[in-house]
Amino acid sequence: MKYTFHIVDVFSSTPFGGNQLAVLTDAAAISTEGMQKIAREFNFGETTFVLPKNDPASTCRVRIFTPRTELDFAGAPTVGTACALVMKQHVRLSDPTKPTAPRFTGLVTSVDLDAADRAAARPSDYRDGRR
């Protein structure tokens, strides 16, 4: 099976710097076990999987995995995923981005993408791939 993924360098102004994050923007067909295997294969600090929203107040659901386990919530992967969604035009920059983490007890109310762009991923730090 092939999955489209994006690699984002979070919190860096230079390519191949900062916190590497793999983002799979269409993960609806991937099982929990499959997500864990993919995260282990990337072996980055975190890998995120974007799923369709189940809350009308959110933009999407995001599951966050390390090579060993799923996380309830993590800030850098949330910011990096929001930036990846904007850069790949899954979300417009003018729209508030409200990802939810299913295992987190609350809604991430918004991600300021202007500030996130300044502090996190920039297009030059962004790489695409297929597996």
Active-site residue flag, 46: yes
Q: For residue 120, which of 92, 74, 81 has the smallest C-alpha distance? A: 81
Query: In this structure, what DSSP letter does residue 104 have?
Result: S
Give the pLDDT of the chain (131 residues) as one tens digit per residue.
Answer: 889 999 988 888 777 888 899 999 999 999 999 999 999 999 999 999 999 888 777 778 899 999 999 998 888 898 888 888 877 765 555 555 555 555 544 444 444 444 444 444 444 444 455 44
Whether residue 84 contacts residue 23, with contact meaning beta carbons closer than 8 Å, is answered with yes
Q: Where are the alpha helices (DSSP H) in 7-112?
A: 32-42, 75-87
pTM of the model: 0.73
Among residues 33, 41, 46, 70, the one annotated as catalytic is: 46
> Of 15, 129, 26, 17, whose CA–CA distance to 85 is shortest?
26
Domains (ranges, CATH) in the chain? 4-130 (3.10.310.10)
